[in-house]
Structures are given as structure tokens and as C-alpha cells.
Amino acid sequence: LPEAARTLLDCHALRILARPIGVARIDATHEVLRLQFQKDPPLEPQRIVDLVRRRRNLRLAGPDRLHLEAKLPSWPERVQAARELMQQLAA
């Protein structure tokens, strides 16, 4: 597949992972990954707090956002980081 098609498929796969845990938006740059939750996400708040405590590069940014600080220079690394973080939240 062309790179643009792979990128589109990656985006849709992330949306599918995001929906059940209440993630409304995913932003990824070369330095930070941000997840923004919908109002009243279907996650236990303690699960988010526990994950933030376990990971030094993860922090809460307001009542509805998580920031993962990491060097993510390439698109595949950003997709993988988002996938892993959402899988940890869903576990």
C-alpha cells in the first residue's frame, strides 16, 4: 500500500481502539502524545491515576487529558505509542 493509505488505516485503527475507552482525540508530535477524553469516559479514574504513577513520562494535563512525553520521530513510532497507551488503559 502507498504510505498515505497506510497512514489512513493506522488512523482508523487507533479510532477503533479509542472509542471503547472514551478517547475523543489523539494528537501526536515528535515529542509528545496527547489523549483527550470525552466527557465522563467509561474508564475507572483510578486506572488512569495508577498508570500515571507507574509511568514517569505520563502526566495528567487537566481533567480530561493525558500527555505522554517521548521522542517519537516517525509516524510508526507515534502509532505504536498511542496503541500501547490505549491498550494499557483498556486492560
What's the CA gap between 79 and 73, in Å, rounded?
Answer: 11
CATH code of residue 32: 3.90.1150.50
Q: What is the residue range of 24's domain?
A: 3-90
Position 67 scores a pLDDT of: 95
Position 80 scores a pLDDT of: 94
Position 44 scores a pLDDT of: 87
Specify which residues 23 forms β-bridges with: 37
pTM listed for this prediction: 0.88
Structurally, the chain folds into a number of domains equal to: 1
Which pLDDT tens digits describe the chain residue by residue (91 residues)? 788 899 899 999 999 999 999 999 999 999 999 999 999 889 888 899 999 999 999 999 988 999 999 999 999 999 999 999 999 999 8
